[in-house]
Amino acid sequence: MAESDDNSLPPDGSIRRWCELICDGAAKADEHPFKVRFTGAELRQHMEDAGFIDVTVKNYKLPIGPWPVDKRLRYAGSLALGAMIDGIHGISAAVFSRSLKWSPEEMEVFLAQVRNEWRQKTVHSYWPM
């Protein structure tokens, strides 16, 4: 789920709705694309269950867009934004058409809204890593 620390990601906006829809639709299809993602606490528990001790979990934030002040993060954010703008159709097509039963036209209109929201310089979103 994309997040924002400064509330610049609208709670009722297209990005949040897309994140919810893609997760819900994938879960319905039993093909959850984020099945391999764990929270830090879950990952720590899995590692400890496997016998590791003194497990340290570090949380990172991958910006989506060139909004960070730090030059390296701004570059990473630009790449992440490009990946989402170019790849959102491929990520969404099967889930939206098969699980959510959206028409191709409905999906394209919605994805255009998501892309436009992500392009706004006032949106400071990131992927928690």
Question: pLDDT tens digits for the chain (129 residues)?
Answer: 899 999 999 889 999 999 999 988 877 776 545 544 567 888 889 999 999 999 998 889 999 999 999 999 999 999 999 999 999 999 999 999 998 999 999 999 999 999 999 999 999 999 988
pLDDT of residue 71: 97
- The CA distance from 20 to 16, in Å, is 6
Residue 54 backbone dihedrals phi, psi, to 5 degrees: 55, 50
Token couple for 68: 């960070």
Residue 3 DSSP class? B
pLDDT of residue 1: 85
Residue type at position 93: A
Number of CB atoms found within 10 A of residue 54's CB: 5
- The CA distance from 1 to 49, in Å, is 26
pLDDT of residue 36: 44
- The CA distance from 80 to 129, in Å, is 13
pLDDT of residue 79: 98
- The CA distance from 58 to 60, in Å, is 7
Q: Which residue has the tokens 């006032």?
A: 122
Tell me the pTM. Answer: 0.82
- Give 96's Cβ-side CA count (13 Å radius): 21
